[in-house]
Amino acid sequence: MTHTIRPRHDEDLPDLAAVLVRVHAQDGYPVEGVADPEGWLRHPNELQSWTAVEDDRPIGQITLTRAVPEDDAARVWQEHTGGDIDRLAIPVRLFVDPDYRGSGAGRLLMEAALDLARSQGLAIAFDVMLKDRTAIRLYERLGAVYIADLNHRYGDGLTEPAAVYVVSHNESSN
């Protein structure tokens, strides 16, 4: 399969929302649920979002965000590195249609986000739920390094075990 990765357009949101609902039904991602999938895709700190497209149909997406102090990954990253959160980017909202898993779309989406962060001189950190083993394997193949565990808090006092990863500026996206 040959995928196109391009900036996400507003017209992609209905299709991506439908994909997200299928992903949640299969994988429980996102743990917060998908009561408003299009709203969830519109991240308030978005730097850029990309869509993976197969035959003109959106099959996945990722968003690169500017870190804020409330982000779990940003807080842990700052504690471990002493870095300036204003110089940190966080890739979020990565998912691929279950019918296209293993096709390379997730890797291409993540590489697009990492490339933009690097081009802007931003450090890269993110959290991932420990239950999402396939995502963790992808991140580790891309050079992400584990730095800490945390409990992701959501909903009404719910938690999910997670880990924080960083990707260095000089990792190759070959």
Distance between CA 6 and CA 11 in Å, rounded?
Answer: 13
Bridging pattern class, strands 158-167 and 46-54: unpaired
Distance between CA 110 and CA 80 in Å, rounded?
Answer: 23
173 occurs within a structural domain: no
- Residue 155: domain span: 4-167
17 occurs within a structural domain: yes
CATH number (domain holding residue 148): 3.40.630.30
Per-residue pLDDT of the chain (174 residues; tens, 9 = 90+): 578 999 999 999 999 999 999 999 999 899 887 899 999 999 999 999 999 999 989 999 999 999 999 999 999 999 999 999 999 999 999 999 999 998 999 999 999 999 999 999 999 999 999 999 999 999 999 999 999 999 988 888 888 999 999 998 664 444
44 occurs within a structural domain: yes
Phi, psi values for residue 142, rounded to 5° = -85, 5
Name the domain count of the chain: 1
19 occurs within a structural domain: yes
Could you tell me if 29 and 132 are in contact, meaning their C-beta atoms sit under 8 angstroms apart?
Answer: yes
87 occurs within a structural domain: yes
Tokens matching residue 41: 């895709």
174 occurs within a structural domain: no
Of 137, 134, 89, 83, the residue nearest 116 (C-alpha): 89
